[in-house]
A and B are shown apart, each in its own frame.
Chain A
């Protein structure tokens, strides 16, 4: 049994690898877009413009109140019906993860920017920095320390949440695992492998986040 189990894993490896690549691609793209979008959100929110803040607030609450799964269904099945616009399930998953992740990262960035002393902004302005320069050279670099640990935690959540993509038909590592199980009934073995896969990707991230947090709060 043990040898056959190991054999099965070895035989399934290329197939699992393809699924894993899909999972990592969705998560990776989601993380990149979440970060870019989140920084943009945070910067826009820190400008304190009333109408803009309202808009951002609505966006944030929509992604806080509605489960990611519902968003996946809404866009994947809804867009073709209501807008005659269909996107491949892979990109639909990337889109939803990115929008959700950006709202989460965005709140972190906003908080980090707001925690900076007001004088930093004024000192930057007083030497003639433009808005982009002010954020690029003065505010964001100083906010980075405060926003990095919680942002890494959001990354692990994005990776884990990417598994929902199965439900709109993305053949990710979980789907591949299920297919193998259907064929072989080796559920413990395969789910064990999936467990290790997610654990070894997410654990180093959250460990890094904790290490950075400890280092930076003492500095």
Chain B
């Protein structure tokens, strides 16, 4: 089966400073890939390149076989297929929750209001926030805002979802409600690329862990062997910093404890 997403010899630099160096990464449809690595290793930039928020400098990037680094690429089309959720949610502050959710479906996809609204409400109900549909973002907690930001992306019916440290700005007690939503998506078989520092979550949800440092991919393996037996010294050090190796949960089913 060919890859849904394929980075090949992919390069990106900010000025003279290379941030992504010869990246090779394939993601199959339905796969959940978690990208780990120290801050500044380029993992967020990798996601942003896939959404066209950063431009690439060289190499290949394909989505369902289609080259995205072609100057003729219509990023508006691509972005409808690749949803992105940000660290600080970025809901539109002047709109109600429902208007936030419907902006893309109505104005970009020109869908019928009734149908789009039904979908938005069904998704809101799924994340337990249907009663907030008329609220404004400032009236909601961080965890609620982030769940709504996820729904906003889902309303576009994307093929892939990108999560860029989506729990990093949240109070600890709100992290789980957001991770739960992502985990449900993983169970449904959605293709996910996740950048996170939540190690237990990464281990539970990932089909594959990609470990990056200084703009390179150093390891990519299944979570069990990555967390129990990292191959590179850098990955080992990284995991030790999270003091994770010492207190591994015994039975990491695809479930959050």
State the A residues within 8 Å of B (CB): 117, 119-120, 122-130, 133, 137-138, 141-142
On whether A119 and B92 interact (CB within 8 A), knowing A128-B79, A137-B107, the answer reads no
Query: Is A125 in contact with B108, judged by CB distance below 8 angstroms?
Result: no
Query: Is A123 in contact with B104, judged by CB distance below 8 angstroms?
Result: no
Interface pairs A-B: 8 shortest CB-CB: A127-B104, A123-B90, A119-B90, A128-B108, A126-B84, A128-B79, A128-B80, A128-B76
Query: Is B103 in contact with A126, judged by CB distance below 8 angstroms?
Result: no
Closest to A129 in B: B108
Cβ contacts under 8 Å, A126 to chain B: 51, 53, 79, 83-84, 86, 153
On whether A122 and B108 interact (CB within 8 A), knowing A127-B103, A127-B153, A142-B92, the answer reads no
In the complex, whether B156 has a CB less than 8 A from a CB of chain A is: yes
Closest to A145 in B: B94
Partner of A127, one of B52, B53, B79, B94: B79
| Closest chain A CB from B106 CB (angstroms) | 10
Chosen A-B contacts, 20 in total, with CB atoms closer than 8 Å, are A119-B88, A120-B92, A122-B90, A123-B86, A123-B92, A125-B51, A125-B52, A125-B53, A125-B79, A126-B84, A127-B79, A127-B80, A127-B108, A127-B153, A128-B108, A130-B76, A130-B108, A133-B108, A138-B103, A142-B94
Cβ contacts under 8 Å, A127 to chain B: 79-80, 83, 103-104, 108, 152-153, 156
Cβ contacts under 8 Å, B94 to chain A: 141-142
Query: Could you tell me the dominant secondary structure of chain A's interface residues?
Result: helix
Q: In the bound complex, how far is the Cα of B51 from the Cα of A142, in angstroms?
A: 24
| Count of A-B contacts judged by CB separation below 8 Å | 64
Q: In the bound complex, how far is the Cα of B87 from the Cα of A122, in angstroms?
A: 12
Partner of B90, one of A117, A130, A137: A117
Cβ contacts under 8 Å, B156 to chain A: 127-128
| Closest chain B CB from A67 CB (angstroms) | 39
State the B residues within 8 Å of A (CB): 51-53, 75-77, 79-80, 83-84, 86, 88, 90-94, 103-104, 107-109, 149, 152-153, 156
| Closest chain A CB from B15 CB (angstroms) | 15
Cβ contacts under 8 Å, A138 to chain B: 92, 103
Cβ contacts under 8 Å, A142 to chain B: 92-94
Closest to A117 in B: B90
Q: In the bound complex, how far is the Cα of B100 from the Cα of A141, in angstroms?
A: 13
Cβ contacts under 8 Å, B153 to chain A: 126-127
Cβ contacts under 8 Å, A117 to chain B: 88, 90
Residue of A123, A128, A138 ringed by the most chain B CB atoms within 10 A = A128
Query: Is B79 in contact with A120, judged by CB distance below 8 angstroms?
Result: no
| Closest chain A CB from B137 CB (angstroms) | 11
Query: Is B90 in contact with A129, judged by CB distance below 8 angstroms?
Result: no
Query: Is A122 in contact with B92, judged by CB distance below 8 angstroms?
Result: no
Q: In the bound complex, how far is the Cα of B91 from the Cα of A142, in angstroms?
A: 12
Query: Is A119 in contact with B53, judged by CB distance below 8 angstroms?
Result: no
Partner of B107, one of A119, A123, A129: A129
Q: In the bound complex, how far is the Cα of B107 from the Cα of A128, in angstroms?
A: 9
Q: In the bound complex, how far is the Cα of B53 from the Cα of A127, in angstroms?
A: 12
Closest to B93 in A: A142
Partner of A133, one of B51, B52, B107: B107
Closest to B88 in A: A119
Cβ contacts under 8 Å, B52 to chain A: 125
Q: In the bound complex, how far is the Cα of B166 from the Cα of A126, in angstroms?
A: 15
